Amino acid sequence: MDKIEVSLTVNGRTRAALVSPRMLLSDFIRHELALPGTHVGCEHGVCGSCNVLVDGKAVRSCLMFAVQTDGAQITTIEGFGDGDLDPIQTAFWEEHGLQCGFCTPGMLASAKELLDHNPDPSDEEIREAISGNLCRCTGYEYIINAIRSAAAKLRAADPAAA
Amino acid sequence: MKPAKFEYSRPDDLPTVLALLADQEDARILAGGQSLVPMMNFRIAQPAALIDINRVPGLDYIRMEGDVIAIGALARHADIQRSPVIQSNIPIMTEAYDWVAHSAVRNRGTLCGNLCHADPASEMPALMQLLEAQMVVASHTGQREVPAADFFTGTYETALEPDEMLTEVRIAKPAAGTGWRFEEVSMRKGDFAWAACAAMLRLEAGQIAMPRVAVAGVGDAPMRLDAVEAILTGQAPSEDLFQTAAQTGADAIDPPETPAASAAYRKDLVRTLLPRVLSTAAERAE
């Protein structure tokens, strides 16, 4: 089938491209947009490594077609912070929230969606939010510590939101 | 691990969707894609055409229509899970959603798509049987309603014809005073059920009235346990009764054997879960 034109906003920048309908959003992000921070693990919706934010919601980019994102706002890990680490990334760094780092971009997308809606999550809510993200280093406790710490940083930076 | 080629269309109204579904060979509806796309990535599914309904306006409703809750084809799990209409009218559905997939999947996945995928270990098909939901099925020639009991015909199989689409689920609000409970065991929370049990019942003069019991993960399709319901009807709730019901339930199922969960283990789970859901439902009944 012919390629279809899509125009979308990725990390604040308008991007347009011609895509085959069968191109997964994950492949589009990595290979067409040259943003390799989005990791592809299982490619069938189980591991959560490829999670990105589409219109503010965490989604598995391996389970969407790029053609579906025409007009969407997408945030990948490259869109976190502004040339520097953002508070969630800083918390992961400080709390050793990553070992090999493969699951980290997806973890951060899930964490960001949680903290956007819940500035003071309980540990149970944090566990629920990342339950669809697998860390094969099994560093879950540190990741939970990192998200708890990130929540505190964000509350301190914006007391009105807490 | 990449999908095969397919024709893609993205209509902006339902009549066009239904016309395309009738005209195109081997076309599938793309709603949330959380079941279909994994199968396409594995090439277990290789539809010739996908009809993307995500830009059809007005299909994402969750609303009361008299005593019926109507849920549209594009209503997503995350929105149904958080819906005050569902929480206050069908609390067992909110409770069951604790067990459905993970946040990122619920953000995209739709109830109707989940039902059309008809995984026998999925929670919502069993719950629709429990709630005796009506499936509103449309094609280019018209519309029909299919009771949940007739909709799920087997593993990944439904009563849908190739030119038909599930456009709405209609659930009658359970009667006031109905007690309910949904419980599940799976390897990890959010995975498909090794065994899930759901119960609804009322108490009339201290006796169980109109019990409903459904299970998932323990057969070719989600099912009601008629034999269990028959044992419960007209009896006073008691631990002995629920143990008898549990044994009857375990005898009535023929669960699948998988490396992670044997058939015998799944029967054990049903024997354990059934008394739990029944006693909680009885406590909640008024």
Last residue of a domain, one of A79, A101, A131: A79
Q: A25: domain range?
A: 4-79
Is residue A46 a contact partner of residue A134, using CB atoms and an 8 Å limit?
yes
For residues A107 and A139, state if they share a domain.
Answer: yes
Tell whether B74 is within 8 A of chain A (Cβ). no
Q: Could you read off the pLDDT of A47-63 as tens digits, one per residue?
A: 999 999 999 999 999 99
Residues of B in contact with A60 (CB under 8 A): 34, 104-105, 108
pLDDT tens readout for residues A83-105: 899 999 999 999 999 999 999 99
Q: How far apart are CA B232 and CA B162, in angstroms?
A: 40
| Closest residue to A59, CB basis, from B8, B108, B189 | B108
Q: What is the pLDDT of residue A40?
A: 98
**Of A79, A113, A136, which residue sits at a domain end?**
A79
Residues of B in contact with A51 (CB under 8 A): 104
pLDDT at A162: 57
B101 touches chain A (CB under 8 A): yes
Is the domain defined by B62-172 classed in CATH 3.30.465.10? yes
For the segment B233-265, what is each residue's pLDDT rounded down to a tens digit? 999 999 999 999 999 999 999 999 999 999 999
Cβ-based contacts of A63 with chain B (< 8 Å): 33-34, 37-38, 105, 108
Contacts by A88-95, CB closer than 8 A, 24 or more apart? A88/A112, A88/A115, A88/A146, A88/A147, A88/A150, A88/A153, A88/A154, A90/A150, A90/A153, A91/A146, A91/A147, A91/A149, A91/A150, A91/A153, A92/A143, A92/A146, A92/A150, A94/A146, A94/A149, A95/A142, A95/A145, A95/A146, A95/A149
From residue A46, how far is each of B177, B260, B286 by CA, in Å?
A: 39, 17, 41
- Give the CATH fold of the B180-284 domain: Enolase-like; domain 1 (3.30.390)
Instruction: Give the per-residue pLDDT at A1.
Output: 63
One domain for residues A62 and A98: no
**Mean pLDDT of each 10-residue bin along chain B, 286 residues long:** 95 98 97 98 97 98 98 98 98 97 97 97 97 98 97 97 98 97 94 96 97 97 96 98 98 96 98 98 96
Torsion sign over Cα B247, B251, B252, B255: positive
Domain ranges of chain B: 7-52, 62-172, 180-284
